[in-house]
Structure 1
């Protein structure tokens, strides 16, 4: 290895990241184990976890990097990890060397994620397309080799959901409220983080930051939200994709329970009209005449977005009626974390609402090819997302809460192609 490569190795060593869960006192150390390493285009890391985003073995010369991550469990004592990257000619391109990992004496790390990245765009890597591989070593012992391919951008196939179209998202998260304590209105621990995490996920999936309007806490007044939905979104055309994500409180009008509102930052719960009516959201988005709309809501009574104020009628029959009457444009997908009479769920085990926790995991790649709902190709379609959410959310809430909670997922069209839609823009 020449001196140029040695300098390069030195520069990439600080990019080795080690994120771990809480350190536990060790009576008798549990058995150490590790999961099969994963290749991805990104990594969502928050606090103690690292979740691969956009898992794939095919990269382009325009991708920023390849990330190789490995999850370690019950780590105690001293260990080393090493990543060796090999170019298409089989030559060692770069190496981390044996990177030391160590838990505090007498303690162990219940779970840890370690990763290293190979930069592509703008680096020498981009000038060497072809079949690469990364070898990973634990305690100087070889554990696996992960092959991957770097293709020139113009040779990559166009995948479902990646057609050239503009995409716009309004992302709203409210953990704090101006009138907290009034009429039972409480702050929410995770709703603001839900919104930030979803925004960051869209950016990782290739969204243009100028096409994401993120409103959090004091920036999510009724006026701010009205401007975003009723003015800013007017730039979206009929063939563009519109995504609405809302995490926060929802509440019914005590005088007319059929009127259900999102709580804005400055909503006075005694005056429901200071919130934003859920059916108004539907009306505004319909006025855009957009063919592709995805609505994601992790909030109490969010099912009202679907049932549109019709009392005592289940979701599916109402959607069928909308289709017969042709009142809703084709291509709308609804995924909500609570029906019209249900509460959204938060728990400290997730650092998110239950719905958002599962949603972020799904978009990070866990839903890719899930239960044969689609091909495992690095792109999560809405069909794969649906299959994953319908399974993962009840499983996860059963595990943490002791009771299974299910998302409400439906669409306004019977066309099965709607489930090929994807939030991936790369």
Structure 2
């Protein structure tokens, strides 16, 4: 019989993938849902008692549901010893008609309306940082965005870490425990491309290019158990840029102090 794991720290994740859009004028995607499901599967290596994953796919990924899961439930439930991972795969878009916010960039949710992106999309510059600020207790919050124009996410208004905390991991029966690993702190967003670039899907990969290399991950851990977030970014960014001939270059925004993730690859 396996020993009972006393839960002191958890990995809490909200993972969003949207191929299908309610407004038929928004082009459907091919691999965003698959990308999200693959990221959720990657997290399954964390001990079941220490992972809490919400998966929002297609029609479940409405603006209301995303805001409730992140801004209400996750903000309420995530504790001072937890790690938070947010992931989004889908369309990123500016407003579809000229307006006062011509430079603005938005994540398109399942119910985003083509003619009303400002009201029905999720602003990368304003609403995403606001959602991050509501997740106030965990020392480490990381968002990964596989969407066009996503380098603007967070922007210059992005706030840095609020608290310090120690973390840990040990492997038990093939599962990763988070009990003894130092994972640092930070508020970081890693986006698939710059704010004037396209995030590509590739049929030959069966994924978005960014998520494909994210899922491959670094070949080795830094210390056998963890990987630095900035090292993860550098390796994924280099692979994506090489694959696309420099047409897509991932961006990292935010601040951190030795932010690390459990090595899941």
> What range is the shorter-chain TM-score in?
0.7 to 0.9
Q: Does 1:260 align with 2:115?
A: no
Q: 1:342 to 1:207 in 2, by over 3 A?
A: farther
Larger radius of gyration: 1
Corresponding residue of 1:224:
65
Q: Which one scores higher on RCO, CA 8 angstroms, separation ≥ 6?
A: 2
**Quick check: 1:166 aligned with 2:10?**
yes
Say whether residues 1:333 and 2:172 are aligned partners.
Answer: no
Write the mapping of 1:3-402 to structure 2, written as runs, cut at 5 A: 164-180=8-24, 182=25, 185-206=26-47, 208=49, 211-233=52-74, 234-253=76-95, 254-255=98-99, 256-272=101-117, 273-278=119-124, 279-289=126-136, 290-307=138-155, 318=156, 327-330=159-162, 331-362=186-217, 366-369=218-221, 374-375=222-223, 377=224, 379-398=226-245
Q: Indicate how the Cα distance of structure 1 residues 164 and 246 shifts in structure 2: closer, same or farther if over 3 A, else same.
A: same
C-alpha contact 1:206 1:424 (8 A) present in aligned 2 = no
Task: Give the structure with the higher percent strand.
Answer: 1
Unaligned runs of 5+ residues in structure 1 are 1-120, 123-151, 155-162, 308-317
Secondary structure at the counterpart of residue 214 of structure 1: strand
Task: Show structure 1 runs of 4+ deviating over 6 A.
Answer: none
CA distance, structure 2, for counterparts of residue 423 and residue 226 of structure 1: 26
Distance 1:406 1:217 in 2: 26
Quote how far apart the aligned CAs of 1:410 are: 4.1
Aligned: 1:409 with 2:256? no
Unaligned runs of 5+ in 2: 163-185
* Partner SS for 1:328: coil
2: CA distance between counterparts of 1:224 and 1:410? 25
Question: What CA distance in whole angstroms lies between the structure 1 residues aligned with 2:92 and 2:49?
Answer: 29
Query: Could you tell me how far apart the structure 1 residues matched to 2:240 and 2:87 are?
Result: 17
Change (3 A) 1:222 1:247: same
Q: Return the alpha-carbon distance in structure 1 between the equivalents of residues 112 and 49 of structure 2.
A: 31
Q: In structure 1, the residue corresponding to 2:143 is in which secondary structure?
A: strand
Matched position secondary structure for 2:66: helix
Cα distance change on mapping 1:205 and 1:394 into 2, 3 Å: farther
Q: Deviations over 1:206-227 (max 9, x none)?
A: 4558611100001111221121
Partner SS state of residue 259, structure 1: coil
2: CA distance, partners of 1:277 / 1:197:
25
Tell me the residue number matched to 1:422.
261
Task: Report the CA distance between 1:334 and its aligned residue.
Answer: 1.9
Answer whether contact 2:199 2:248 (CA < 8 A) is retained.
Answer: no
Distance in 2 between the 1:340 and 1:356 partners? 17
Query: Structure 1: how far apart are the matches of 2:202 and 2:31?
Result: 9
TM-score (norm 2): 0.78
CA contact (8 A) 2:153 2:253 kept: no
Deviation at 1:386, TM superposition (A): 2.4
Q: Deviations over 1:313-356 (max 9, x none)?
A: xxxxx47xx6xxxx433512221102222111111111100100
From the superposition, tell whether residues 292 and 269 of structure 1 become closer, same or farther in structure 2 (CA, over 3 Å).
same
Cα RMSD after superposing both structures: 2.7
CA distance in 1, matches of 2:120, 2:219: 38
